[in-house]
Structure 1
Amino acid sequence: MDATKVYYTINHKLREGCHEAFMEIYNKNNRLMYNYIRKYVSDSNTIDDIIHDSFLNLWNAKERISVYHKVENYLFRITRNEIYKYYRERLRKLSIEEEIQKSKTESYVVEGEDCLANLEYEKIYRLAIMQLPPQRQKIFKLSREEGLSYQEIAERLDISPNTVKEHMSLAMKTIRTYLVKEHDIALGIIILSLLAF
């Protein structure tokens, strides 16, 4: 069966609220997700929570899923967002603990706008992409946001797969330099490692 037709069938069923299609997606991907998350999170209970929240978010967003793209692309993008969320919360807690130690007061209230942990990764991500030339931006977004392979991007833009690979390599170098130079190094490393997926 044509790959596009496979995507269409399972995605269409999911969009219609088919629990069997949802369970098929779950059974096919939960172990892959576990192994992916384990690269960034060591606690097994936290990993299970991230998997649960990722599938719940997929289900809640099912009406917005395109029937022409692999549902796994949506699922792993959601999972990546959940990992960001986990690290933002960890950074927030660390920031609170550090401030409590400094102030030694029980009345301390974290000011959201001033706290490092409240830096939104999405804003940083978009700013990083804006550092790229237009063609490179397009290629990067097709790869990371639409989940297209280098071959698929090459066919869409009428360029060679090697050219796509070259653009992606240069894009990652530019983004890495931007994150390290302009943003907190710890948050930058987290964002960059997840962009590498």
Structure 2
Amino acid sequence: MSSKEFFLINNRLKDSDHNAFLEIYDTYAKALYHFVKKFIYDSAAIDDLVHDAFLNLWNARERIKPNYPIQNYLYKIARNLVYKRLKEQMRFLEIQGELAYIEEKRIVQYSVEETFIDAEYKGIYKSAVEQLPNQRRRIFQMSRQEGLSHKEIAERLGISINTVKEHMSLAMRSIQEYIAREHNILLKLLIVYLLS
């Protein structure tokens, strides 16, 4: 465009001439798209930025200088929008990194706590089993640790199945009472759950 054409189109745009705006759009939209594409790779985001650049030009039309090339306004607006978008993306990536770090730290902390609690539960459970009378403890361990059925335990120990069942019932009750007496009721519920 010649300087006279700049002057005319700038003045028309400044006077809110929609046709002047459309002429500017038709003339510069494609070039502006390629300019933004150098920095932003998402086509939808490029379209949004180009649209925003023209919208900002329209909103700032009253401040346009008559002899200042209109494409210079557009490129300056687009450059600022690209800078803002890239800054937002960087901040988003920083936030994602911070969140990932916090989550990783939480998982590690939870794992340490879980290991500690698990060890504590096992210790309580072990103490509860150890306080059982010898024969009852042996039957209980054969059932829970070795996975033997009542029949298999009865055969190995040369006792009746009913005796095995009675020892198991008494062992369960004794363990529950030990936990209730010696430890927190919540732990009791958790251990009972583990035993069942």
TM-score (norm 1): 0.51
Q: Residue in 2 aligned with 1:102?
A: 101
Alignment partner, residue 29 of structure 2? 30
Quote the Cα distance in structure 1 between the aligned partners of 2:103 and 2:34: 41
Structure 2: gaps of 5 or more residues: 105-196
Determine the structure 2 residue equivalent to 1:69: 68
- Give the Cα–Cα distance (whole angstroms) in 2 for the partners of residues 98 and 41 of structure 1: 21
- 1: distance between equivalents of 2:97 and 2:3? 51
SS in 2 for 1:69: coil
Name the structure 1 match of 2:174.
Answer: none
| Higher fraction of helix | 2
Partner residue, 2:87: 88
Residues 62-98 of structure 1: per-residue CA shift (max 9 Å, x gap): 0011001111100110000110011011011001101
**Correspondence for 2:15:** 16
1:42 is aligned with what amino acid? Y
Shift of 1:3: 2.1
Give the deviation of 1:21 after TM superposition: 0.1
Percent sequence identity is: 40
Correspondence for 1:41: 40
1:12-53 alpha-carbon deviations (Å, 9 max, x no partner): 000000000000000000000111111111111011000010
Between the aligned partners of 2:96 and 2:34, the Cα distance in structure 1 is 31
Q: Which structure 1 segments of 5+ residues have no match?
A: 106-197
- Give the drift of 1:58: 0.4
Tell me the residue number matched to 2:58: 59
Task: Tell me the distance in 1 between the aligned counterparts of 2:39 and 2:90.
Answer: 14
Match of 2:121 in 1: none
Aligned CA-pair RMSD: 1.4
Whichever residue aligns with residue 13 of structure 1, its letter is R
TM-score normalized by the length of structure 2: 0.51
Report the equivalent of 1:135.
none
Q: Within 1, Cα distance between the matches of 2:43 and 2:102?
A: 34
Equivalent residue of 1:94, what SS? helix
What is the CA–CA distance in structure 1 between the aligned matches of 2:61 and 2:16, rounded to whole Å?
8
Runs of 4+ displaced beyond 6 Å: none
Once the two structures are TM-superposed, the CA of residue 101 in structure 1 deviates from its matched residue by: 1.2
Deviations 1:147-193 (A, max 9, x none): xxxxxxxxxxxxxxxxxxxxxxxxxxxxxxxxxxxxxxxxxxxxxxx
User: C-alpha distance in 2, partners of 1:51/1:23?
Assistant: 14
Aligned mates of 1:19, 1:47 — CA distance in 2:
23
Q: Find the residue that maps to 1:104 and give its secondary structure.
A: helix
Counterpart of 2:49 in structure 1: which amino acid? I
